[in-house]
Structure 1
Amino acid sequence: MPQEFTGLCQLLEHIEASCRHTERVSLELVIDAVGLGSYAPFLLVVGLILFSPLSGVPGISTSMAALLLLVAIQLLLGRKHVWLPQWLLNRSISKKKLTRALHWLRRPAEFADHWMQPRLHFLVKRSGTYAIATTCSLIALTMPLMELVPFSATTAGFALTIFGLALVAHDGLLALIGFTMTALLTLLLAHTLL
């Protein structure tokens, strides 16, 4: 049965506790910690990784883009459980780097938990969820371009975190903020690359 999280701080604590007894932390271990039954924690974890200092680790952005695309497509297809290839699940980083990133995220998590609440449900139910999944797919497909624009991957990570939080907390206002951030990111990329 998947773990139900009432806030971002609880999710971060659960990930850290699950990785306590290993020196290298695989994506599979993190996914097992957040539970396979829900897409929302996946989006949240991918967003947090891209938003945190971990995004600077070589190969992390590409792996997260592949994970994001796989998860978003499966959400669009209406799958109940997420399937991921073993090569992606085997990707790992040191526990020290993960712990440092989790501690860095603690203060923003406390701030987010304070403001999240269920509202504007239509933006996080059925058609709203499909809109979020479509937007996340587009973000994943543009990740290679973000390598050319400073801080754009961090901004994308923040938008994905917002979408994940929106789905976890059933907060449509956060989804609206995520859509707005994605639109601004798209304009920034277009302006910079054209």
Structure 2
Amino acid sequence: MDSQSKTDIQDILQRLREKGEEKEEMSVRDMIETTGSRSFGPLLLLAGLIAISPLSGIPGVPSTVALIVIVSAGQMLVGRDHFWLPDWILRKKIAGNKIRKGMEMLMRPAGFVDRFMRPRMRVLTRGVGAGFVAVFCILVAATMPPLEPLPFLASTAGIVLTLMGMSLTTQDGLVALIGIIAAPLIGFGVYSLLS
């Protein structure tokens, strides 16, 4: 489904950071074009990165990210090779300086992660496995809008979405497995925090 070869996550962040410096505002379309791909892995990775960055504290951002994930993962599930997003989502904008700051915060951890990513356990990133990842992403994204009123709590879902996006982008099924295992643990932590 997403056959993109190994991608340097730090490189994606750097491109977004530079574009955030150039533009006063960045639309979702600008961000997608900056990542240079119309495939699902980089889009899910981008959505996850936005959700775990300080950008998730901006009202409406977690719900927009959730909608992008649900729409794109739904298309992945039905076998499309490339995603389509409605124009009104692509026009949504975030201040360029916020994009720059958010991506800068993620650069160091991304460099650490990049050293370990490689194609393996591809059964989880292709065919039926990729379909399972798509369903999993939809379920995780559906938790984000209810968590949005609580500052930065939707970022917990962003961690899982980032792992799923990384796994599809780099064809690393081990990362998908880590995300699948981590999700209920993160969910239990959030539930404990709220109860």
**TM-score, structure 2 as length reference:** 0.89
Q: Distance in 1 between matches of 2:186 and 2:151?
A: 12
The question of whether the paired residues in 1 share the 8 Å contact of 2:120 and 2:174 is answered with yes
Gaps of at least 5 residues in structure 2 are none
**Would you say how many aligned residue pairs link Structure 1 and Structure 2?**
192
Asked if the contact 2:6–2:171 (Cα under 8 Å) also holds between the matched residues in 1, the reply is no
Q: Give the corresponding residue for 1:63.
A: 64
Asked which structure has the greater RCO (Cα within 8 Å, sep 6+), the reply is: 2
Shift of residue 25 of structure 1?
0.5
Report what 1:12 is aligned to.
13
Cα separation, 1, equivalents of 2:119 and 2:146: 34
Separation in 2, partners of 1:66, 1:154: 15
**Distance (whole Å) between structure 2 residues aligned to residue 189 and residue 149 of structure 1:** 11
- What per-residue deviation string (whole Å, max 9, x for no partner) do you get for residues 91-150 of structure 1? 111111100011001011101101111111111111111111000100122223323666
Distance 1:20 1:187 in 2: 38
Partner Cα distance (2:150, 2:60) in 1: 17
* C-alpha contact 1:27 1:92 (8 A) present in aligned 2: yes
User: What does 1:1-150 align with in structure 2 at a 5 Å threshold?
Assistant: 6-147=7-148
What one-letter code is carried by the residue in structure 1 that aligns with 2:113? A
Output one character per residue of 1:146-169: Cα deviation in whole Å (capped at 9) or x when no partner: 236665411211111111111111
Q: 1:191/1:21 Cα in 2 relative to 1: closer, same or farther (>3 Å)?
A: closer
Instruction: Give distance in 1, aligned partners of 2:66 and 2:143.
Output: 9
Moved more, 6-15 or 71-80: 6-15
CA distance in 1 between counterparts of 2:127 and 2:71 reads 19
Distance 1:4 1:97 in 2: 29
Tell me what 1:165 maps to: 166
Deviation of 1:32 (Å): 1.3
Normalised by the length of structure 1, the TM-score is 0.89
